[in-house]
Amino acid sequence: MTFVWRTAVVMCGLLASIGALPVQAAEARVAVAANFAKPMAQIAEGFAAATGHTVALSVGSTGRLYSQIIAGAPFDVLLAADAQTPARLVDEGHAQAASRFTYAIGQLVLWSPLSGRVDAEGRVLSGTGWQRLAIANPKLAPYGAAAMAVLEKRGLVGHVAPRLVTGDSIGQAYQFVATGNAELGFVALSQVQSPGQEAPGSMWRVPQAYYPEIRQDAVLLRHGETNPAAVALLKYLRETEARALIAAYGYVTVD
Protein backbone atom coordinates (compact mmCIF):
# COMPACT_ATOMS: atom_id res chain seq x y z
CA MET A 1 0.00 0.00 0.00
CA THR A 2 1.24 3.48 -0.82
CA PHE A 3 0.53 6.42 1.46
CA VAL A 4 0.68 10.06 0.41
CA TRP A 5 1.64 13.14 2.41
CA ARG A 6 1.66 16.67 1.06
CA THR A 7 3.58 19.57 2.46
CA ALA A 8 2.62 23.13 1.70
CA VAL A 9 4.23 26.45 2.41
CA VAL A 10 2.37 29.67 3.19
CA MET A 11 3.93 32.16 0.82
CA CYS A 12 2.57 35.29 2.47
CA GLY A 13 5.25 36.72 4.72
CA LEU A 14 7.93 34.21 3.70
CA LEU A 15 8.82 36.10 0.56
CA ALA A 16 10.00 38.98 2.66
CA SER A 17 12.12 36.82 4.96
CA ILE A 18 13.58 34.40 2.43
CA GLY A 19 15.51 36.28 -0.17
CA ALA A 20 15.68 33.92 -3.09
CA LEU A 21 12.45 31.98 -3.46
CA PRO A 22 11.71 30.86 -7.01
CA VAL A 23 9.45 33.06 -9.09
CA GLN A 24 7.19 30.09 -9.75
CA ALA A 25 7.05 27.40 -7.09
CA ALA A 26 6.67 23.82 -8.27
CA GLU A 27 5.80 20.48 -6.71
CA ALA A 28 8.11 17.46 -6.64
CA ARG A 29 6.46 14.04 -6.55
CA VAL A 30 8.75 11.81 -4.54
CA ALA A 31 8.62 8.03 -4.17
CA VAL A 32 10.23 7.30 -0.81
CA ALA A 33 11.13 4.01 0.84
CA ALA A 34 9.04 3.36 3.96
CA ASN A 35 11.99 3.47 6.37
CA PHE A 36 12.66 7.09 5.37
CA ALA A 37 9.07 8.34 5.63
CA LYS A 38 9.41 10.21 8.93
CA PRO A 39 12.67 12.02 8.23
CA MET A 40 11.59 12.84 4.67
CA ALA A 41 8.34 14.40 5.87
CA GLN A 42 10.36 16.67 8.14
CA ILE A 43 12.92 17.41 5.43
CA ALA A 44 10.08 18.32 3.05
CA GLU A 45 8.87 20.97 5.50
CA GLY A 46 12.31 22.55 5.69
CA PHE A 47 12.68 22.35 1.92
CA ALA A 48 9.35 24.10 1.38
CA ALA A 49 10.25 26.86 3.83
CA ALA A 50 13.65 27.37 2.22
CA THR A 51 12.63 27.25 -1.44
CA GLY A 52 8.88 27.76 -1.81
CA HIS A 53 8.58 24.43 -3.62
CA THR A 54 6.24 21.76 -2.27
CA VAL A 55 6.65 18.00 -2.04
CA ALA A 56 4.16 15.14 -2.43
CA LEU A 57 5.45 11.94 -0.83
CA SER A 58 4.35 8.46 -1.88
CA VAL A 59 5.64 5.89 0.61
CA GLY A 60 6.08 2.16 0.08
CA SER A 61 8.55 -0.66 -0.25
CA THR A 62 11.36 -0.05 -2.73
CA GLY A 63 10.25 -3.04 -4.80
CA ARG A 64 6.69 -1.79 -5.14
CA LEU A 65 7.82 1.75 -5.92
CA TYR A 66 10.07 0.37 -8.65
CA SER A 67 7.13 -1.50 -10.17
CA GLN A 68 5.05 1.67 -10.14
CA ILE A 69 7.81 3.70 -11.79
CA ILE A 70 8.34 1.30 -14.68
CA ALA A 71 4.56 1.12 -15.10
CA GLY A 72 4.51 4.87 -15.70
CA ALA A 73 3.76 6.41 -12.30
CA PRO A 74 4.60 10.13 -12.61
CA PHE A 75 7.21 10.32 -9.85
CA ASP A 76 10.02 12.85 -10.16
CA VAL A 77 12.45 11.46 -7.58
CA LEU A 78 13.08 8.08 -6.00
CA LEU A 79 14.55 7.77 -2.51
CA ALA A 80 15.21 4.05 -2.36
CA ALA A 81 16.20 1.77 0.50
CA ASP A 82 19.01 0.33 -1.56
CA ALA A 83 21.54 1.27 -4.23
CA GLN A 84 20.58 -1.45 -6.69
CA THR A 85 17.11 -0.19 -7.60
CA PRO A 86 18.19 3.35 -8.61
CA ALA A 87 21.08 1.82 -10.59
CA ARG A 88 18.64 -0.50 -12.34
CA LEU A 89 16.35 2.40 -13.21
CA VAL A 90 19.33 4.22 -14.71
CA ASP A 91 20.29 1.16 -16.75
CA GLU A 92 16.71 0.78 -17.99
CA GLY A 93 16.46 4.42 -19.03
CA HIS A 94 14.04 5.55 -16.34
CA ALA A 95 16.45 7.75 -14.37
CA GLN A 96 19.32 10.17 -14.85
CA ALA A 97 22.70 8.56 -14.12
CA ALA A 98 24.51 11.74 -13.05
CA SER A 99 21.91 12.48 -10.37
CA ARG A 100 22.34 9.29 -8.34
CA PHE A 101 23.96 9.53 -4.90
CA THR A 102 23.81 7.89 -1.48
CA TYR A 103 21.69 9.98 0.88
CA ALA A 104 21.83 7.62 3.88
CA ILE A 105 23.10 4.28 5.15
CA GLY A 106 20.38 2.50 7.10
CA GLN A 107 20.70 0.74 10.43
CA LEU A 108 18.74 -2.42 11.31
CA VAL A 109 17.38 -3.08 14.81
CA LEU A 110 15.38 -5.81 16.52
CA TRP A 111 12.68 -3.97 18.46
CA SER A 112 9.89 -4.53 20.93
CA PRO A 113 7.67 -1.80 22.42
CA LEU A 114 8.06 -3.53 25.80
CA SER A 115 10.96 -2.59 28.03
CA GLY A 116 13.31 -5.46 28.79
CA ARG A 117 11.98 -7.89 26.19
CA VAL A 118 14.89 -7.49 23.73
CA ASP A 119 18.39 -7.89 25.16
CA ALA A 120 21.44 -5.99 23.91
CA GLU A 121 22.76 -8.98 21.93
CA GLY A 122 19.52 -10.29 20.42
CA ARG A 123 19.58 -13.58 22.30
CA VAL A 124 15.79 -13.35 22.64
CA LEU A 125 15.53 -14.68 19.09
CA SER A 126 16.87 -18.05 20.19
CA GLY A 127 14.24 -18.42 22.91
CA THR A 128 10.60 -19.48 22.91
CA GLY A 129 9.04 -16.68 24.96
CA TRP A 130 7.46 -15.04 21.94
CA GLN A 131 5.02 -16.04 19.19
CA ARG A 132 5.55 -13.68 16.23
CA LEU A 133 8.53 -11.95 14.60
CA ALA A 134 7.74 -9.25 12.03
CA ILE A 135 9.97 -8.49 9.06
CA ALA A 136 9.50 -6.70 5.76
CA ASN A 137 9.11 -8.82 2.64
CA PRO A 138 12.73 -9.65 1.69
CA LYS A 139 11.76 -9.77 -2.00
CA LEU A 140 10.46 -6.19 -1.94
CA ALA A 141 12.25 -4.42 0.90
CA PRO A 142 16.01 -4.24 1.50
CA TYR A 143 15.45 -4.13 5.25
CA GLY A 144 13.61 -7.44 4.97
CA ALA A 145 16.52 -8.93 3.06
CA ALA A 146 18.85 -7.62 5.78
CA ALA A 147 16.68 -9.26 8.47
CA MET A 148 16.90 -12.61 6.70
CA ALA A 149 20.68 -12.20 6.48
CA VAL A 150 20.79 -11.76 10.26
CA LEU A 151 18.71 -14.87 10.84
CA GLU A 152 20.95 -16.86 8.51
CA LYS A 153 24.07 -15.53 10.24
CA ARG A 154 22.67 -16.64 13.59
CA GLY A 155 21.50 -20.00 12.21
CA LEU A 156 17.93 -19.22 13.23
CA VAL A 157 15.97 -19.40 9.98
CA GLY A 158 14.44 -22.77 10.78
CA HIS A 159 13.73 -21.78 14.37
CA VAL A 160 11.81 -18.61 13.52
CA ALA A 161 10.29 -19.52 10.13
CA PRO A 162 6.96 -20.79 11.55
CA ARG A 163 6.58 -17.56 13.53
CA LEU A 164 7.46 -14.99 10.87
CA VAL A 165 4.94 -12.28 10.02
CA THR A 166 5.83 -10.53 6.76
CA GLY A 167 4.80 -7.01 5.79
CA ASP A 168 4.93 -5.46 2.34
CA SER A 169 7.30 -2.80 3.64
CA ILE A 170 9.35 -1.99 6.72
CA GLY A 171 6.55 0.41 7.62
CA GLN A 172 4.06 -2.43 7.80
CA ALA A 173 6.51 -4.59 9.74
CA TYR A 174 6.83 -1.78 12.28
CA GLN A 175 3.03 -1.53 12.57
CA PHE A 176 2.75 -5.25 13.29
CA VAL A 177 4.99 -4.79 16.33
CA ALA A 178 3.64 -1.41 17.44
CA THR A 179 0.06 -2.74 17.47
CA GLY A 180 0.94 -5.97 19.30
CA ASN A 181 0.34 -8.31 16.37
CA ALA A 182 3.97 -9.39 16.74
CA GLU A 183 6.07 -9.25 19.89
CA LEU A 184 9.32 -8.62 18.02
CA GLY A 185 10.29 -7.07 14.72
CA PHE A 186 13.27 -6.20 12.60
CA VAL A 187 12.77 -2.53 11.76
CA ALA A 188 14.81 0.51 10.77
CA LEU A 189 16.46 2.45 13.57
CA SER A 190 14.84 5.59 12.14
CA GLN A 191 11.40 4.18 12.97
CA VAL A 192 12.15 3.95 16.69
CA GLN A 193 14.49 6.91 17.02
CA SER A 194 13.59 10.54 16.43
CA PRO A 195 15.83 13.57 16.90
CA GLY A 196 16.57 13.85 20.59
CA GLN A 197 14.61 10.79 21.70
CA GLU A 198 14.10 7.07 21.26
CA ALA A 199 10.79 5.24 21.22
CA PRO A 200 9.79 3.35 24.37
CA GLY A 201 10.68 -0.30 24.51
CA SER A 202 13.83 -2.31 24.02
CA MET A 203 16.05 -3.00 21.04
CA TRP A 204 19.13 -4.74 19.73
CA ARG A 205 21.15 -2.63 17.34
CA VAL A 206 22.26 -5.31 14.93
CA PRO A 207 26.01 -5.18 14.21
CA GLN A 208 26.81 -4.18 10.65
CA ALA A 209 28.77 -7.42 10.20
CA TYR A 210 25.50 -9.38 10.35
CA TYR A 211 23.95 -7.97 7.18
CA PRO A 212 24.94 -6.28 3.91
CA GLU A 213 25.28 -2.52 4.17
CA ILE A 214 21.95 -0.80 3.51
CA ARG A 215 23.19 1.95 1.21
CA GLN A 216 20.20 4.08 0.26
CA ASP A 217 20.42 5.99 -3.02
CA ALA A 218 18.42 8.88 -4.44
CA VAL A 219 17.94 9.43 -8.15
CA LEU A 220 16.20 11.90 -10.45
CA LEU A 221 13.65 10.10 -12.59
CA ARG A 222 13.07 11.00 -16.23
CA HIS A 223 9.67 12.47 -15.37
CA GLY A 224 11.36 14.98 -13.08
CA GLU A 225 14.18 16.17 -15.33
CA THR A 226 12.39 19.41 -16.21
CA ASN A 227 10.86 19.93 -12.77
CA PRO A 228 12.80 22.61 -10.85
CA ALA A 229 11.39 21.39 -7.53
CA ALA A 230 12.75 17.89 -8.10
CA VAL A 231 16.20 19.15 -9.05
CA ALA A 232 16.25 21.51 -6.07
CA LEU A 233 15.16 18.77 -3.67
CA LEU A 234 18.05 16.50 -4.60
CA LYS A 235 20.42 19.41 -4.04
CA TYR A 236 18.79 20.19 -0.69
CA LEU A 237 19.22 16.59 0.50
CA ARG A 238 22.99 17.04 0.23
CA GLU A 239 23.09 20.25 2.25
CA THR A 240 24.10 20.54 5.90
CA GLU A 241 20.62 21.02 7.38
CA ALA A 242 19.15 17.94 5.70
CA ARG A 243 22.21 15.80 6.42
CA ALA A 244 22.09 16.73 10.11
CA LEU A 245 18.44 15.70 10.30
CA ILE A 246 19.13 12.41 8.53
CA ALA A 247 21.88 11.63 11.04
CA ALA A 248 19.59 12.56 13.94
CA TYR A 249 17.23 9.78 12.84
CA GLY A 250 20.01 7.24 13.23
CA TYR A 251 21.31 6.99 9.68
CA VAL A 252 24.94 7.18 8.69
CA THR A 253 25.60 9.90 6.13
CA VAL A 254 28.39 9.89 3.58
CA ASP A 255 30.29 12.67 1.84
Structural domains of the chain sorted by starting position, each given as residue range(s) with its CATH number in brackets: 3-105+215-248 (3.40.190.10), 107-210 (3.40.190.10)
Q: What is the pLDDT of residues 28-37, one digit of tens each?
A: 999 999 999 9
Query: From CA 232, how far away is CA 24, in angstroms rounded?
Result: 13
Q: What is the pLDDT of residues 98-113, one digit of tens each?
A: 999 999 999 999 999 9
In the predicted model, is pLDDT for residue 21 greater than 70? no
Query: From CA 35, how far away is CA 76, in angstroms rounded?
Result: 19
How far apart, in Å, are the Cα atoms of 128 and each of 124, 133, 209, 213?
8, 11, 25, 29
Q: Output the pLDDT for position 12.
A: 36
Secondary element (H or E) of residue 42 = helix 37-51
In the predicted model, is pLDDT for residue 221 greater than 60? yes
In the predicted model, is pLDDT for residue 47 greater than 60? yes
Query: From CA 255, how far away is CA 180, in angstroms rounded?
Result: 39
Quote the mean pLDDT of the chain: 91
135-155: average pLDDT: 97
Q: Any idea of the CA torsion for 58, 60, 61, 65, to the nearest 10 degrees?
A: -40
Range name among 8-17, 19-28, 141-150 with the lowest pLDDT average: 8-17
> What is the maximum span of the chain, computed from C-alpha positions, in angstroms?
62
Interior angle at CA 128, CA 124 and CA 131, nearest 5: 95
